[in-house]
């Protein structure tokens, strides 16, 4: 997608400049996906392709309702179906997978290209394709395994949270298309409030562990789930129980950068100081004479 002029930028990848801050903070938005209300119709998937002018190539049946089997450079959201058998009981868990729009985005932290990933003040994390260099560092930064690099243009793609719709006051295409209103969109505060009501309802229906998925390890997310089994998010097609940016990525993109440049600068300065204090190591005339003597006299 492209930078939205009507939205302010909070963070910009690989940039040390301070982003504009004088405007009053805008409302943080969030998408709330109520897994308990989802019927797995994939209207959201279709709406996503339609709004974003994307075409997913026709695939093959692989013994699952999942189609495609995973996120792709063109399918920015995919329904993930999980069957859980408990005795005679079957639970069919359906989760709409896609970018979680982390408040502390690992992709943005890992990205080396200035402005290829931005986070708007409303919390949406967006890839700015014209700045993307296709290195795949965002894939390493992401704790949710979301960004996909296109084989066609070597650029990274993922859900934009329909930033172009949100910028003009519209809800994301998936939320608009959902026939059971399992996808809500609004301010993050309102979405948390709404989730609480849903959780009370689910608990009254016997789902004692119902809860909100808004993982603190990534500073919370701007896509949240209501889960009937919030004590075990990994039941839902491997949703991470406690997602965090990998400590390896934290080190690589954190302390290592300044320390490395300092070490290189120090080595250069040390060499310079050595040269101006100790001077060069030169071969004297006497050395040359001894060399000639050893070689058996000077040849002319």
Partner 1 sequence: MSGDKNAVARYTTAARINHWITAASLILLALSGMALFHPSLFFLTHLFGGGQATRAIHPWIGVVLAISFLGLFLRFFALNFWTREDTIWMKNLGKVINNDDEGLPELGKYNAGQKLVFWGQSILILLLLGSGLVLWDVYFENYTTVDQKRLSAVVHALCAIGAILIWIVHVYAAIWVKGTLRAMTRGSVTRGWSWKHHRKWFRQEVGKP
Rank residues 111 and 224 by Cβ distance to partner 1 and give the closer one.
111
Give the CB-side neighbour count of residue 246, counting CA atoms within 13 A.
15
Please report, for residues 26, 30, 39, 54, 166, the alpha-carbon distance to residue 187 in angstroms, rounded to integers and kept in the order given. 10, 6, 25, 28, 11
Rank residues 83 and 130 by Cβ distance to partner 1 and give the closer one.
130
- Residues of this chain that interact with partner 1 (CB under 8 A) are 14-16, 112-114, 131, 133-137, 139-140, 145, 149, 154, 246, 248-249, 251-252, 256-257, 260-261, 263-264, 267-268, 271, 274-275, 278-285, 287-292, 294-296, 298-300
- Residue 111: alpha-carbon gap to chain centroid: 10
* Least spacing, CB of residue 175 vs partner 1, in Å: 29
Rank residues 6 and 260 by Cβ distance to partner 1 and give the closer one.
260
Rank residues 27 and 133 by Cβ distance to partner 1 and give the closer one.
133
Rank residues 62 and 180 by Cβ distance to partner 1 and give the closer one.
62
**Residue 122: exposed, middle, or buried by beta-carbon count in 10 A (0-12, 13-18, 19+)?**
buried
- 183: nearest Cα among 29, 33, 30: 33
* Least spacing, CB of residue 164 vs partner 1, in Å: 24
* Least spacing, CB of residue 299 vs partner 1, in Å: 4
Strand, helix or coil at 103? coil
Q: What does the alpha-carbon distance between residue 57 and residue 135 come to, in Å, rounded to a whole number? A: 24
Rank residues 38 and 110 by Cβ distance to partner 1 and give the closer one.
110
* Least spacing, CB of residue 154 vs partner 1, in Å: 7
* Least spacing, CB of residue 257 vs partner 1, in Å: 5
DSSP 183: E
The CB density around residue 220, as the number of other CB atoms within 10 Å, is 19
* Least spacing, CB of residue 126 vs partner 1, in Å: 18
Please report, for residues 67, 205, 228, the alpha-carbon distance to residue 92 in angstroms, rounded to integers and kept in the order given. 16, 17, 11
């Amino acid at each position: 997608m492209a930078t939205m002029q009507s939205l302010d930028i909070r963070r910009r990848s690989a940039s040390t400049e301070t982003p504009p801050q004088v405007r009053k903070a805008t409302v943080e938005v969030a998408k709330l996906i109520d897994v308990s209300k989802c019927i797995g119709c994939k209207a959201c998937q279709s709406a996503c392709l339609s709004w974003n002018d994307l075409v997913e190539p026709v695939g093959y049946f692989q013994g699952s309702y999942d189609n495609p089997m995973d996120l792709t450079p063109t399918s920015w959201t995919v329904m993930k179906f999980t069957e859980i058998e408990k005795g005679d009981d079957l639970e069919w868990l359906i989760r709409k997978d896609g970018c979680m729009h982390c408040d502390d985005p690992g992709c943005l932290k890992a990205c080396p290209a200035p402005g290829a990933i931005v986070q708007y003040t409303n919390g949406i994390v967006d890839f700015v394709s014209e700045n993307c260099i296709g290195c795949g560092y965002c894939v390493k930064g992401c704790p949710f395994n979301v960004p996909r690099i296109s084989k066609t243009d070597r650029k990274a793609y993922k859900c934009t949270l329909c930033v172009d719709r949100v910028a003009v006051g519209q809800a994301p295409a998936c939320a608009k298309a959902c026939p059971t209103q399992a996808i809500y969109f609004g301010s993050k505060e309102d979405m948390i409030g709404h989730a609480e009501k849903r959780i009370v309802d689910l608990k009254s229906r016997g789902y004692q562990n119902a809860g909100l998925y808004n993982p603190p390890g990534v500073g919370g997310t701007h896509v949240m789930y209501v889960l009937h089994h919030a004590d075990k998010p990994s039941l839902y097609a491997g949703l991470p129980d406690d997602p965090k940016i990998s400590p390896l990525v934290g080190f690589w993109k954190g302390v290592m950068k300044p320390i490395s440049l300092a070490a290189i600068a120090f080595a250069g300065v040390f060499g310079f100081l050595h040269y101006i204090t100790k001077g060069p190591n030169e071969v004297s005339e006497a050395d040359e004479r001894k060399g000639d003597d050893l070689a058996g006299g000077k040849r002319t």
